[in-house]
Amino acid sequence: MGQVAIYCRVSTNDQSCERQERDLRAFAKRAGHKIVAVFKETASGADTVRPERTKILALARAHEIDAILVTELSRWGRSTQDLVQTLDDLHGWKVSVLAQTGLSFDLSTSSGKLMRTIMAGLAEFERDLIRDRVKSGLAAARARGVKLGRQLGQRPSDNKAKKVLTLHEEGLSYRLIGRNVGLSKNTVMDIVKRAAALST
């Protein structure tokens, strides 16, 4: 029993938080919790901007709640790594995350600590998988002859390169060329140097 905040999240605007809120209010009532605030937002699972979740974390930091109620952990965490990080933060503030599905993350209990260890291992595994995918993707791209990194024509200044080189051939200083085409002196120098390197 304690003071709790309800957190509801849906992924798209055509979805509603009503069912989540209704179920969590009933869940809180059965457990004898006092609801101090309800937060609802629309954000995809990987979305890093979640203003309502940030407000709940502020309540937790201020010790105004004892737990956060969610329908399932995927509603709260953006990724396994994010889940572990926020659980650690909440544990430091003595706040638990209680999922209606039955999973509770109270890191003061042995089962909570075990779950945190498992989640941390999964987060590390997740990071390794992403790292391996990036490496293999880059290797496959190189094998296909794809040039990696920013290529000529991809810099914002490259569309002015022809004009810069023409003015340079006419003997204008880097500073004057920059004024004429609207680039800095250093950018003009870079364009001239790149052109010289390509011609050698």
Instruction: Give the percent of the chain with pLDDT over 90.
Output: 26
Enzyme catalytic residues: 11
pTM: 0.56
Question: Out of 75-79, 97-101, 145-149, which region has the weakest mean confidence (pLDDT)?
Answer: 145-149
From the list 185, 200, 195, the residue with the least C-alpha distance to 158 is 195
Q: How confident is the model at residue 187 (pLDDT cuts 50, 70, 90)?
A: confident
Q: Determine how many CB atoms are found less than 10 A away from the CB of residue 10.
A: 18
Determine the pLDDT at residue 156: 60
Tell how many helices (H) and how many strands (E) occur in the chain: 8, 5
Average of per-residue pLDDT across 109-123: 69
CATH architecture of 3-122: 3-Layer(aba) Sandwich (3.40)
* pLDDT tens readout for residues 141-182: 777 776 655 555 556 666 788 888 888 888 888 888 888 888
Q: What angle do CA 68, 50, 69 make, to 5 degrees?
A: 15
DSSP E strand stretches across 30-135:
34-42, 67-70, 96-99, 104-105
